[in-house]
Amino acid sequence: MATTPTPSGKIRVLLIDDDPDDHVLTRDLIAEIPGNKFELEWVSNYETGIEAICSGNHDVYLLDYRLGERTGLELLADAMQRSCHGPVILLTGQSMLEVDLAAMKQGVADYLEKGRLDSTLLERSIRYAIQQDRYELELKKQVVLRTQELEVANAALKDADRRKDQFLATLAHELRNPLAPIRNALQIMKVASDNPVAMEKAREIVERQVRHMIRHIDDLLDISRMTRGKLTLQLDSLNLNHAIDDAIETSQPLLDRSQVTLERRLSKSPIVISGDRLRLGQVFANLLNNAAKYTEAGGKVIISTSQEEASAVFRIQDTGLGIPAEVLPQIFDLFTQVNRTLNRSQGGLGIGLALVDQIVKLHGGTVSAKSEGIGKGTEFVVRLPI
């Protein structure tokens, strides 16, 4: 189909017919159509007809069934093999069922008997063919678009399934790991019941590993609530620094074990929000834990708070391993795990940042991540309404 109209705005019609008398007949019928809105051109042989269709310079093609020793349907098939197409009306000397059926299979828009042809019928057929071609082109565009959308959705499902499998494997590993020290501690308690020091150390091991398992199970319960829309808040008037203090108390042991220095730049003036202290403490603790895990010994984590217009802003910056640019858009997706180093395995279950994102959203806020890449640290920014 032609992509641009003629300067006069007329519909361009090409007749492919080896009979000059048919050309004269068609020209006269076109001239009879009211409004003079059609422009007729004529080619008289097979190859020129194919080239004309492939040029795409016409709005509709009138194709004679007989073209010397060849047929119009053969011409149409050859054009289609060259990926050339357009709205075609087949002109026949007389109606034949087998020709009509063959024309339909070839995608011909209409077929007309020359002996019964008049200007009204020709105009109606031309306009119908053009409209049908437009519908087909639009349908093809929609099919291509929908196919692309399905491919994207399918890729997302495959990625989600991959991340789920990775999560389950990691979860099994994380829940199994504490069992060995717990079992060893129980063995020590059996044979050292008369040794208070050994008993106390064994008890501490069990207590520490149980806390580790409880933390994972609590996260799993929160994820279950989150995916079912059951995660709720207990809102109250809250000084933001109080929730941050809770998070520091929770994360300080991990920061100490990682030999990471924590620097506080908290606002001296109270920043009061409507929030759930426990849940916000969980948000800030997850971000602090994340920074501690991915910052090498001797590194630094800086936390700061400020008020920007109607928002309370919490920033946490680390000098750690950073995040690859291609991972940043998915960093808050459930089960996303980032391998930020080749020689250090600190990946978690891939649920902490998803919980952070969900809890912050429930507070009407936003959380974002920024990193210049591997080895260049990471910054998370949480914004909450005042």
pLDDT digits 0-9 by tens, 149-181: 999 999 988 887 877 777 777 677 677 878 888
Token pair, residue 384, equals 């909450």
Domain total of the chain? 3
Domain co-membership, 117 together with 221: no
CATH number of residue 218's parent domain: 1.10.287.130
pLDDT of 254 higher than 50: yes
Report the distance separating Cα 358 and Cα 164, nearest Å.
18
pLDDT classification of 348: cutoffs 50, 70, 90:
low
Residues near 75 by Cβ (< 8 Å), separated by ≥ 6?
Answer: 16, 46, 49, 50, 63, 67
Q: Give the pLDDT confidence score for residue 266 in this predicted structure.
A: 94
- Per-residue CA distances from 211 to 47, 114, 251, 333 (Å): 82, 90, 13, 26
Q: What is the pLDDT of residues 199-248, one digit of tens each?
A: 999 999 998 888 878 877 887 888 788 878 888 899 999 999 999 999 99
pLDDT of 349 higher than 80: no
pLDDT classification of 249: cutoffs 50, 70, 90:
very high
Measured over all CA atoms, what is the biggest interatomic distance in the chain, rounded to whole angstroms? Answer: 120
- Residue 339 within any structural domain of the chain: yes
Q: Which residues constitute the domain of residue 72? A: 11-143
- Residue 150 within any structural domain of the chain: no
What average pLDDT does the segment 2-31 reach?
82
**Domain stops at, among 199, 227, 255:** 227
